[in-house]
Structure 1
Amino acid sequence: MSYYDLCCRYHGRVVTITDRQGRKHTGRIQQVTNSHVYLEPSRSRQFGGFGYGYYRGYGYRRGYPIAFAFITGIALGALLFW
């Protein structure tokens, strides 16, 4: 199964994506295109505390992109919190 199919399957769910540089990106899948997956960052990882949230365009509406060419693994976020 390709990463595109996997991302389409998990659309709207919290996932952890590992890239080729070993960084882990955790967030909710907002959008999937032919070349990228867009993640909305987890709120628990933003600045700690309550912060200012997404007031008037602050933050990512579509999420931030991760190219499929750089993805080495995808795990459901719910599996990480057992």
Structure 2
Amino acid sequence: MSRCAHYYNVCSRNQGRNVRIIEHSGRQHAGRIVRVTPSTVYIEGRGPRGGFGGFGYGYYGSYGYRPYVYPVALAAISGFALGALLFW
């Protein structure tokens, strides 16, 4: 099984859960998995840490801040951790 297929299966099984994903480049992503495709996992969080800041889409509505939802390529993942203790 390829690395992408492995992380696709792991992300699919854990959709809706809080995770921390570490890329080969060292960027870390912490958030909730909201969608998984064969090549990308979509994280709802505050944007990557150790990277260029938040990107994706989000808004400030009448109910307050909504976190960004942004994609992470499955091929870029080098580490994956589950749990609610990972958050800021």
- 1:34 & 1:16 partners in 2: Cα distance? 19
> Is 1:2 aligned with 2:6?
yes
Following TM superposition, by how much is the alpha carbon of 1:36 offset from its aligned partner in structure 2, in angstroms? 0.1
Q: Do 1:26 and 1:77's aligned partners in 2 also have CA atoms closer than 8 Å?
A: no
Identity within the alignment, %: 51
> With structure 1 as the length reference, what TM-score do the two structures score?
0.70
Aligned position for 1:27 = 31
Q: Greater RCO between the two (CA within 8 Å, min separation 6)? A: 1
Aligned position for 2:79 = 73
- 2:60 & 2:35 partners in 1: Cα distance? 18
Query: Which of 13, 17, 25 is residue 17 of structure 2 equivalent to?
Result: 13
Change (3 A) 1:55 1:10: same
Aligned position for 1:39 = 43
- For the residue of structure 2 that corresponds to 1:3, the secondary structure is helix
- For the residue of structure 2 that corresponds to 1:2, the secondary structure is helix
> With structure 2 as the length reference, what TM-score do the two structures score?
0.66
Following TM superposition, by how much is the alpha carbon of 1:59 offset from its aligned partner in structure 2, in angstroms? 5.3
Change (3 A) 1:66 1:76: same
- For the residue of structure 1 that corresponds to 2:10, the secondary structure is helix
Q: When you count strand as a share of all residues, which structure comes out higher?
A: 2
Runs of 4+ in 1 over 6 A off after TM superposition: none
Unaligned runs of 5+ in 1: 43-52
Unaligned runs of 5+ in 2: 47-58
Aligned position for 1:49 = none
Following TM superposition, by how much is the alpha carbon of 1:79 offset from its aligned partner in structure 2, in angstroms? 5.3
